[in-house]
Amino acid sequence: MVTGAEFCDFVVYLKNIPIFIQRIFPDKECIDMMMCKLSKFYFEHIKPKLTT
């Protein structure tokens, strides 16, 4: 994770319904894939607009 945390708790609270908590652990393979795609998008679409 970006923060370096070992996990993140996803919490849903609604009135009159029991609280729902799910612990989410990082998926390194998924994070690596997203970072690759996000870097490509940034350098192809965002950075060129910032430098013109």
Q: Give me the residues of the chain with pLDDT under 50, please.
A: none
Is 39 domain-assigned? yes
Is 1 domain-assigned? no
pLDDT at 4: 83
pLDDT at 52: 73
Kindly report the three-state secondary structure assignment for every residue of 4-42: CCCCEEEEEEECCEEEEEEEECCCHHHHHHHHHHHHHHH
Number of domains in the chain: 1
Is 30 domain-assigned? yes
Is 2 domain-assigned? no
Q: Which amino acid is it at 30?
A: C
Number of other CB atoms surrounding residue 26 within 10 Å:
15
pTM over 0.75: no
Pairwise CA distance, residues 12 & 26, whole Å: 19
Pairwise CA distance, residues 14 & 34, whole Å: 31
